Amino acid sequence: MNVASSLAAPHLHRLRSWLLQPTGRKAHRSWRLRNLIHTAFLGVSVVIGVMFYRFVRAAATGSFPLPDRPAGVESFLPISGAMGLKHWWLTGTLNDIHPAATIIFVLALVLALLLRKSFCSWICSVGWLSEKLAAVGRRLFGRNFRLHPWADIPLRGLKYFVLGFFAVEIWRMNAVALGAFLNTPYNRVADVKLGLFFANLGGVGLGIVVGLVVASLLVQGAWCRYLCPYGALLGLFSRLSPVRIRRDPVSCTNCGLCDRVCMSRLPVSTSIDMRDAECTGCLDCLAVCPAQEALTLRAGPKRVPVWTFALLLLAIYLGGYVTARGLGLWDTAIGDLEYAARIQNIHGPEYGHPGGGGYRGD
Ligand code: SF4
Ligand code: SF4
């Protein structure tokens, strides 16, 4: 055994024990597993954020050679990713401005098709933050609040409204318009503009962020439930997924624990097959169910072990990333000199938003 593996062995042993130890409420350890993977992805996002900050700061001051720009930052550009996907579909060529945005968008869709909205509950950093804010809210107020259905149902429609707006805009654009938009000065530095937006929040922006944080403390997953168009799209795709939670009414004791833990507030205890577009595939209902065999994860008639679900999710997402890198479909073609020149003039009028679906590049 070499020095590295002997140093790592106790840590791996402790991690395994943590994953497998009884939690006092779980027949298996899916909650711990999901939390570990979700937190690891959050860690990756933090590292990406720090790297991107260093890159932008060096580019703004012309400190060459610039540090590496992490292409993963494009995960925060889903609209550019969706436009890139349609452009790729129409032209057969993946744009080289933000190719990683399109690859990540495709991987999230593939995950939704196979493993429900697992992107939201296992990968997305905003989803992670939403869950933690809800947990803080429960500590502060003793509970999370529920809106009356008269408010809840129309508000849940908001995210589909926002999704519909973007979908129509992109639908109306042909290959020329999409190519022109992707090449605008605005889109070429959309990642930097997004970062600057959050770094320099004005009164209105700050008010919106504070409002969302307070809403997330009070109502579990307020952003995801009411506003996120990305989650809305993944939910629609997840309707086609063969994977779902199945309840066996014979084994079920009607304790209602699954309903109480479900972050999407789905009526698990009265369903047979949970195929709702709001089901994130978090598997928390499985984790809390005290009755053996009452809830199982299924793909068609076949039972899917939680470990298989988690490994498949990692294989698809990380495998997609490695494959894209290997095929040269990950890094932007924008060079450091261009980035530096654009960032130094980023407040100029040419970096304003060029318009939506009516944009024809002229
Ligand atoms: S039904 Fe189960 S897997 Fe789906 S969101 Fe609710 S707790 Fe998570
Ligand atoms: S499925 Fe499990 S957690 Fe849900 S009501 Fe039945 S026994 Fe309780």
Average pLDDT, the chain: 92
Q: What does the pLDDT read at residue 282?
A: 95
Interval 162-214: pLDDT, tens: 999 999 999 999 999 999 999 999 999 999 999 999 988 888 999 999 999 99
Q: What does the pLDDT read at residue 169?
A: 96
Distance (Å, rounded) from C-alpha 130 to C-alpha 38? Answer: 12
User: Which residue has its alpha carbon closest to ligand 1 atom 5?
Assistant: 279
Please say if the pLDDT value at position 249 is more than 70. yes
The three state secondary structure string of 149-168 is HHHHHHHHHHHHHHHHHHHH
Point out the ligand 2 atom lying closest to the alpha carbon of residue 256: 5
Output the CA 266–ligand 1 centroid distance in Å: 7
Q: What does the pLDDT read at residue 20?
A: 61
- Of 35-44, 97-106, 305-314, 348-357, where does mean pLDDT reach its minimum? 348-357
Q: What does the pLDDT read at residue 19?
A: 63
Alpha carbon distances (Å) from 106 to 39, 40, 102, 278, 302: 22, 21, 6, 20, 26
Longest dimension (CA), the chain: 68
Output the CA 281–ligand 1 centroid distance in Å: 5
Q: What does the pLDDT read at residue 6?
A: 78
DSSP string of 8-20, one letter each residue: HHHHHHHHHHHHH
Supply φ then ψ for residue 158, to 5 degrees: -60, -45
Question: Whats the size of the chain, residue-wise?
Answer: 362
Alpha carbon distances (Å) from 230 to 117, 302, 339: 10, 29, 28
Q: Which ligand is nearest to the CA of 253?
A: 2
Q: Is 274 in the pocket of ligand 2 (CB under 6 A)?
A: no
Average pLDDT rounded to a whole number, residues 211-229: 96
User: Which residue has its alpha carbon closest to ligand 2 atom 3?
Assistant: 289
Q: Is 287 in the pocket of ligand 2 (CB under 6 A)?
A: no
Point out the ligand 2 atom lying closest to the alpha carbon of residue 251: 7
Supply φ then ψ for residue 351, to 5 degrees: -100, 10
Q: Which ligand is nearest to the CA of 267?
A: 1
Closest CA to 194 of 81, 88, 112, 108: 81
Q: What does the pLDDT read at residue 26?
A: 46
Q: What does the pLDDT read at residue 1?
A: 54
Q: Which ligand is nearest to the CA of 293?
A: 2
3-state helix, strand, coil in the chain (%, to 5): 65, 5, 30
Q: How would you classify the pairing of strands 243-247 and 273-274?
A: antiparallel
**Using CA of residue 260, residue 263, residue 267, residue 268, what is the dihedral sign?**
negative
Asked if residues 156 and 225 have their Cβ atoms less than 8 Å apart, the reply is: yes
User: Which residue has its alpha carbon closest to ligand 1 atom 1?
Assistant: 279
Point out the ligand 2 atom lying closest to the alpha carbon of residue 291: 7
List pocket residues of ligand 1, CB cut-off 6 Å. Answer: 245, 261-264, 266, 268, 274, 279-285
Interval 288-347: pLDDT, tens: 999 988 999 999 899 999 999 999 999 999 999 999 999 999 999 999 999 999 999 999
Average pLDDT rounded to a whole number, residues 87-102: 98
Place 27 in a pLDDT band, splitting at 50, 70 and 90. Answer: very low
Q: Dig out the tokens for 336 from the structure.
A: 């450091």
Distance (Å, rounded) from C-alpha 306 to C-alpha 303? Answer: 10
Q: Which ligand is nearest to the CA of 115?
A: 1
Q: First and final CA of the chain: distance in angstroms?
A: 64
Sequence ranges of the domains in the chain: 26-54+69-351
Distance (Å, rounded) from C-alpha 244 to C-alpha 113? Answer: 11
Average pLDDT rounded to a whole number, residues 245-271: 95
Asked if residues 78 and 101 have their Cβ atoms less than 8 Å apart, the reply is: yes
DSSP string of 122-144, one letter each residue: II-HHHHHHHHHHHHHHHHHSS-
Q: Is 247 in the pocket of ligand 2 (CB under 6 A)?
A: yes
- Of 15-24, 91-100, 157-166, 182-191, where does mean pLDDT reach its minimum? 15-24
User: Which residue has its alpha carbon closest to ligand 1 atom 8?
Assistant: 282
Q: Is 254 in the pocket of ligand 2 (CB under 6 A)?
A: yes
Q: Dig out the tokens for 274 from the structure.
A: 């949970």
Output the CA 201–ligand 2 centroid distance in Å: 45
